[in-house]
Amino acid sequence: MSVDVTETIVIERPLDEVASYAGDPSNAPTWYRRIDEAVWQTEPPITLGSEITFTARFLGRTLTYT
């Protein structure tokens, strides 16, 4: 048995503003519900070679990944 779930959200902001916000890893904890923290290991802005450490919760566990 399979289940397909579709969810829709309307964001009343210009596309470039939404893309800029969602593309900034510092904002991940505010919109990605399982991410608790995003810490830059290199200087922003994001570029080739950037490193960010994320702390997330999944299935009752805390996960940290870069």
pLDDT attached to residue 28: 96
CA dist 27 and 37 (Å) reads 9
- Element housing 49 (H / E): none
Q: Is residue 6 part of a domain?
A: no
Q: Is residue 61 part of a domain?
A: yes
Q: Is the pLDDT of residue 37 over 90?
A: yes
Does the pTM surpass 0.85? The reply is no
Q: Is residue 8 part of a domain?
A: no
Q: Is residue 10 part of a domain?
A: no
Q: Is the pLDDT of residue 1 over 90?
A: no
- Domain tally, the chain: 1
Q: Is 59 helix (H, G, I), strand (E, B) or coil?
A: coil
Q: Is residue 3 part of a domain?
A: no
56: Cβ–Cβ under 8 A, 6 or more apart, which residues?
Answer: 34, 35, 36, 62, 63, 64, 65
Q: Tens digit of pLDDT for each residue in 12-34?
A: 999 999 999 999 999 999 999 99
Q: Is residue 4 part of a domain?
A: no
Q: Is residue 32 part of a domain?
A: yes
Q: Is residue 1 part of a domain?
A: no
CA dist 64 and 31 (Å) reads 18
pLDDT attached to residue 14: 98
